[in-house]
Amino acid sequence: MSYVIPKESYTGKVLSFDFGKDDRAVTVGGENTLPFLSFEGQQPSRPVIACEIQDCPPDDWPDTVKEAYKDVSGDPVAWARHCQDVLNAKAIALRLLSTHPDRDDRSAEDAAGTVRDVLAAVDVPLVILGSNHIEKDSTVLVAAAEAASGYNCIIGKAQEGNYKTIVAAALAHNHKLIAMSELDINLAKQLNILITQMGFSKEKLITDPMCSALGYGLEYTYSVMERIRLAALAQNDPTMQPPILGDVGMYVWKIKETVAPEADVPEWGTLRERGIAWEAITATAMLLAGTNLLIMRHPAAIETVEKTIDELV
Amino acid sequence: MALTGIQIFKLLPKTNCKKCGFPTCLAFAMKLAQGGVELSACPDVSEEAKKTLGEASAPPIRTFDLGTGEKAVKIGGETVLFRHEKKFVNPCALALNVKDSLSDGELAEKASEVASSEIDRVGQKLRVDAVCVEYASGDAARYEAAVRLVAEKAPEAAVILNCKDAAAAGAAVKAVEGRKPLLYGADDGNAEAMAAVAKAHGVPLVACAEGPGALSALTEKIRGLGVEDIVLDSGAKTAKEIIEHNTQIRRSALKKNFKPLGYPVINSVLRDDPLFEASVASVAIAKYASIVILGSIEKWKNLALFTLRQNLYTDPQVPMQVEQKIYEIGEPGADAPLMITTNFSLTYFIVSGEIENSRVPARLAVMDCEGLSVLTAWAAGKFTAAKIAQFIKESGVENRISHKELILPGQVAILSGALEDKLEGWKITVGPREANAIPTFLKNRA
Ligand code: SF4
């Protein structure tokens, strides 16, 4: 028996877009193969990692990751500059967390101001995230989209309960958009359809099927992403062809494994490495399932995953 | 790949002699295709037909044990490329690499690390399964001594002998024969000698070649030499080679029924930086390795890799369940709120995640409802007032808290009256319908 390389050729292809401006713009998506299988297709753009910052001090982050930004995290502008200039981040994800009614309940205008300040301070592409409060996001993200007009950002997340106003704002100010649903391929598909029915191009969408941390439902996210990617490639389903987002950091840096000190759980080993490994491995698994854009927090985890991507592309 | 009745019929004597108990060879063939009878019922079947039919009915990826005893792990036997299609069957083994050039003290220490690596995670005992001794000294006597020492200090771990010198390998295999070591490995140059050692001692053998094509030629050769339990090393070093080779190998075995690659795969992911090694190891774990060789096994790394392996090898068709108990989130005091939900793991992850987000310490009573979500469990009669009352009483949570208030998921608000009757002296509060409203709910109470 002689060996023949078992290649699949797919009729479908993942859509691609760029975000950011001029020579700092970054492209995501565009592959016509399952992740990293260069023997049968092309993956023209390297997965991108956006370094996460927020508009208020990260009091709720565990020490391991808080420590990494302790000199800059009091000010989103300093924090963004640090990510760009010191950490060489290729993109930044700004989370407008202080607008959440349970946090500082800051106004949409305040948030727009922060967006303007950050955009003025850095050149790398920006992802602008709300606080994940359905009602509040629908005003905050509208103001943020306007403030970022002309900067070709990714804004989100548009969810079933608030997508209309956010889609309209992304359309009006020419941004890319995150469509987020909760761990169900049919919900992801349905939301993409609803958004495109408003006249928003599917070529400007990125799907967030909801991330989960290693040990806390990772396998659900992994399989939903794999199924979305197979639908895009093998079934050539246009509603499933936008690239995929993995919002890793916020799910990882709250669970027990990234918080519990070694003294409490000696069998788990050192806390710092444990937390960083948790984020890096969660992110690596997401890449293998089809993620095109990762949002991550710890510089050492980002560096590790960049090294793995170096080997994978 | 199963043969059809017609394909089997073509291999039978076609004499319709009825000795098999069927009126015709065709009737027998049809029954055989359905798996209702054994081929041996036909006394006149040719040797060639036996061979063809035997091969066709063998599973596409061979399965065998790595190691011996209670902690032996099954490797191979996978049936799908994607875990949503069907459960990944045999979780990949993790192995620590040690060089025989280390001092005895260092070797003993590393072997003990393997021996004591077991941790419990959501009810499963997880461990580093094997130790791989690399022949780096160039001294056969040293190698044998090192192998003996490591095997003794890690008495339950599987032993992998990474040695291409057939004489040194032979002596080492003999020294730990009772442990059924995996011999690693045979290449184009030493295949005959290594196969002879593997055959003589009845141990599995790794075939090592550059790329799946060369590897398939080598496994055919080794099989021809009488070794059946083979492990594949395609020479993959980078993460890309791992994912590409392993995908090609699994696709060949499953989709093309290509027997020369129908074996479990071994990948070595040694990197100087242990974090980077952990990330590359996760590529191998997710993408089809049956054995992953690591350069270091820090506790934090083990926990993360064990968890990934456990996550990916869960059955996607059976809803994952978490253990029934009272979970404490954020060091709750005696007056902290007590909430209840079902043990569907996704429900648990989302609810506990939102309680964490609220930063209000609380207790979460997770009740065994066979892995159903709240509404489904209620509809199925598993999350009823009587059962909840019984669970709360038996849990002993009453002795740990200073109040008697239980927060019920909003979706089953209908149960609150009945529950107040059944749980005497308790106040039942109806909580939010959706988990994402939990932080606001808890904060407004505080
Ligand atoms: S015993 Fe064999 S040859 Fe005879 S009828 Fe059955 S299958 Fe045919």
What is the third-level CATH fold of B5-57? 3-methyladenine DNA Glycosylase II; Chain A, domain 3 (1.10.15)
Facing residue for A254 by CB, picked from B302, B316, B357? B357
Q: Is the peptide bond preceding residue A20 cis, with omega within 30 degrees of 0?
A: no
Contacts of B81 (CB under 8 A, 6+ apart): B247, B250, B251, B254
CATH classification code of B63-312: 3.20.20.20
| Predicted pLDDT of residue B401 | 94
In this structure, what are the phi and psi dihedrals at residue A69, rounded to the nearest 5 degrees?
Answer: -120, 20
User: Of the residues B6, B9, B19, which should be mutated to test ligand 1's pocket, given the most ligand atoms within 8 Å of the CB?
Assistant: B19
> Are B303 and A268 in contact (CB < 8 Å)?
yes
| Predicted pLDDT of residue B419 | 94
| Domain B325-445 architecture | 3-Layer(aba) Sandwich (3.40)
- Domain membership of residue A281 (yes or no) is yes
Interface residue A11 vs chain B (CB under 8 A): no
Q: How far apart (Å, rounded) are the C-alpha atoms in residues A232 and A13?
A: 6
| Predicted pLDDT of residue B57 | 67
Question: CA torsion, points B234, B297, B153, B187, in degrees to nearest 10?
Answer: 10
| Predicted pLDDT of residue B1 | 47
Q: Cα of B14 to ligand 1 centre, how many Å? A: 7
> Are A308 and B305 in contact (CB < 8 Å)?
no
B328, two tokens: 């404490």
Facing residue for A276 by CB, picked from B275, B311, B443? B275
State the complex-level ipTM.
Answer: 0.97
- Structural domains in chain A (count): 1
> Are B308 and A214 in contact (CB < 8 Å)?
yes
The pLDDT of A291-299, averaged and rounded, is 98
CA of B43, closest atom in ligand 1: 1
Query: What ranges do the domains of chain B cover?
Result: 5-57, 63-312, 325-445
Rounded to the nearest angstrom, the minimum Cα separation between A117 and chain B is 28
Query: What's the CATH number where A132 sits?
Result: 3.20.20.20
∠ CA A75-A79-A84 to the nearest 5 degrees? 150
Least confident of A154-168, A191-205, B17-31, B42-56: B42-56
Ligand 1 pocket at CB < 6 A: B 12-13, 15-20, 22, 25, 28, 42, 44
Q: What is the pTM of this model?
A: 0.87
Rounded to the nearest angstrom, the minimum Cα separation between A273 and chain B is 7
> Are B356 and A254 in contact (CB < 8 Å)?
yes
**Which residues does chain B have with pLDDT short of 70?**
1-2, 35, 56-57, 319
Q: Using a CB-CB distance cutoff of 8 angstroms, which residues of chain B are in contact with residue A216?
A: 349, 353
Q: Cα of B26 to ligand 1 centre, how many Å? A: 9
Find where tokens 């993942």 sit. Answer: A14
- Domain membership of residue A237 (yes or no) is yes
Q: Cα of B1 to ligand 1 centre, how many Å? A: 23
> Are B260 and A37 in contact (CB < 8 Å)?
no
Q: Identity (one letter) of the amino acid at B424? A: E
- Domain membership of residue A5 (yes or no) is no
The domain of A134 spans: 19-312
- Domain membership of residue A231 (yes or no) is yes
Question: Measured in Å, how far apart are chain A's first and last C-alpha atoms?
Answer: 31
* Helix axes of B274-286 and A271-289: crossing angle, nearest 10 degrees: 40
| Predicted pLDDT of residue B319 | 66
pLDDT digits (tens, 9 = 90+) for B169-179: 999 999 999 99
Give the helix/strand (H/E) hosting B196.
Answer: helix B191-201
Radius of gyration over alpha carbons of chain B, in Å?
28
pLDDT digits (tens, 9 = 90+) for B244-291: 999 999 999 999 989 999 999 999 999 999 999 999 999 999 999 999
Q: How far apart (Å, rounded) are the C-alpha atoms in residues A304 and B274?
A: 10
Q: How far apart (Å, rounded) are the C-alpha atoms in residues B297 and B426?
A: 49
